[in-house]
Structure 1
């Protein structure tokens, strides 16, 4: 039976900037801020504990890679803390950036965020974060890993040549070919989407204004309610409309993007595409199409001698139940049962291990 009082008690719509002290972080995660002309940008960091003998035993070839994580819509650097701590335990240093209006970064006013903040603005924040990481870590290229709209933003920046990277991880990411199918998927499982948006005065948070809606869009049925409420507390109060709308149509040239990823002269997969099998937004067909697009581009560039890379046929990877595959520079991986927020869902360790395995082969 529908409990209207329960719905009202958890209805989550805000029109003002957040206030109060910064949120607390798990042990092992450090927070700093990057000063930009517009305001401070939050940067989280997790480094291996060099004094720990157990950490030393876990050091792998992946430790030579520095990872920068990019969050998606309604998220922040905080969503990456499980993966960051996992990588640190295995000798890998990682950072996560909160773009403006997210996490503990500076927040534009409501109307400015919704209608005056573009994917270019948010991309500039992410570039500032990457440059700050490079300055701290010796100047080398990073491995960029983006989730959802942050995966779209990551592809946009690499495509534009704003950054060059050692590898590109796309986790439940908006496809570079455009996201019309993604929002069609959302409308299919949430038919009251438009009506609710009107009722909420076209507020950006309307589709995720209740724990039920957040679970439906982002998580598996097994995700604990207390974790769901904690996740909701870390969501930003309002989101840019221009960010997702700027990725509805195709915004990436696959060959151009591939040219800005370094290290192709070998047999490694330089692109990782990974999603949960329970993802209702970035569904299986969306991810497979993304992998095929990049594989086709790599193969064509190799044949035309514009790229030195392994053009071997796609093969299934061992030990994963036969779902994951690798070939033509792209690794396609799945996290069984996980929803859209695979890095936070109950199956997150499966995805973290697959991310580490990809880093090891770069």
Structure 2
């Protein structure tokens, strides 16, 4: 099991599969690197070196009391890149992981980065503010926290069974396996870490980070994403990232890596080879 210890003593687990140009994967809340396995396997099988880590407080990484914020997540990833001495990395981030990619570029630049992919990503900011009237009201995230504290296991089951994969839509093909996998990954996360991360992914403003992107960027989003609605996320992000390309998956859920797996795998491979 590959691990790395950050400067503040946090141990991060990571997968390092394949050989070739490097692609990194940052997962969503409250999951782990396992959420990316279909994409990591596909791209590593096509000549790429794929690195996917468990964010601090998630998966097999340690569960520190502090540092559950976007700045620290980005700094952890920067230290991992330095430890592995990787360059020309294509960074891929889903949901909260998309925020991690944005904050990494905002804080650390693109000296080690060749291109970026934001998929179902939380930037520029999820919560409703005077500058972001199309965001979700803070009461939505307060509701998340309330449900989390009341019965975390049931809350995770409800999210996975419904809006995350779009299994609450009429005619949806429900996969109990995907629900169980999501739930088990979520339950691996540290209790406080995942709680704190709700604030991190919903209230962090990535606007200035996005403006600092200077590498080819692909923004992928499902237009039926019930977790991160497309209008306040991808459609705004593409206006902020210089020369970004937006690819919309019609009817696509929040979890495109599962519900639109073949299309996403093909799109990531094509972008990596471009």
Distance 2:211 2:221 in 1: 24
- Residue number among 278, 303, 309 corresponding to 2:224 in the alignment: 278
Partner of 1:342: 256
Alignment CA distance shift 1:162-1:282 (3 Å): same
Q: Work out whether 1:73 is the aligned partner of 2:61.
A: no
Mind listing any 5+ residue stretches in structure 1 that lack a counterpart?
1-30, 49-62, 262-269, 299-328
CA deviations over 1:310-355 (Å, ceiling 9, x no partner)? xxxxxxxxxxxxxxxxxxx222113344321211x23212111111
RMSD after superposition: 2.9
Q: Work out whether 1:158 is the aligned partner of 2:105.
A: yes
- Residue number among 237, 245, 251 corresponding to 2:199 in the alignment: 245
CA contact (8 A) 2:148 2:155 kept: no
Partner of 2:124: 176
Distance 1:255 1:84 in 2: 25
Mind listing any 5+ residue stretches in structure 2 that lack a counterpart?
129-133, 168-172
CA contact (8 A) 1:69 1:94 kept: yes
CA contact (8 A) 1:34 1:40 kept: yes
Residue 226 of structure 1 aligns to a residue whose secondary structure is helix
Distance 1:209 1:254 in 2: 31
Partner of 1:45: 16
Distance 1:347 1:186 in 2: 30
Alignment CA distance shift 1:69-1:186 (3 Å): farther
Larger radius of gyration: 1
After TM superposition, give the deviation of residue 184 of structure 1 in Å. 3.9
CA contact (8 A) 1:41 1:105 kept: yes
The TM-score with structure 1 as length reference comes to 0.63
Distance 2:18 2:11 in 1: 22
CA contact (8 A) 1:43 1:129 kept: no
Partner of 1:32: 2
